[in-house]
Amino acid sequence: MIVIFDLDRTIFDTEKFKEDIAKILNININQYNKDCEKYFTDKKKTYNLYELLRILKSEKRISSIKNNSEKIENLLKNSKRYLFPKATEVLEKFKNRGDKLILISVGPLSWQKKKINSLKIKNYFDRIIILEKEKYKNLDFLKKENDEILIINDNAGETFDMKKAIGKCDVCLICGPYSGNAKHNLKTYNIKDCLKLF
- Which of helix, strand or coil describes residue 108? coil
Residue 6 or 62 having the CB closest to Mg ion: 6
Of positions 2, 3, 4, 6, contacts Mg ion by CB under 5 A: 6
Task: Select from 62, 115, 154, 169 the one that contacts Mg ion (CB under 5 A).
Answer: 154
154 secondary structure, DSSP code? S
Positive or negative, the CA dihedral 24, 29, 33, 35 is negative
- Nearest CB to Mg ion, comparing residues 9 and 166: 9
Closest CB to Mg ion among 4 and 149? 4
Burial class (CB in 10 A: 0-12, 13-18, 19+), 74: exposed
99 binds Mg ion, rule: CB under 5 A: no
- Least Å distance, CB 12 to Mg ion, is 8
Q: Does 9 bind Mg ion (CB under 5 A)?
A: yes
Binding of residue 8 to Mg ion (CB under 5 A): yes
Residue 172: exposure state from Cβ atoms within 10 A (0-12, 13-18, ≥19): buried
Pairing state of beta strands 149-153 and 127-131?
unpaired
Binding residues for Mg ion (CB under 5 A)? 6, 8-9, 154-155
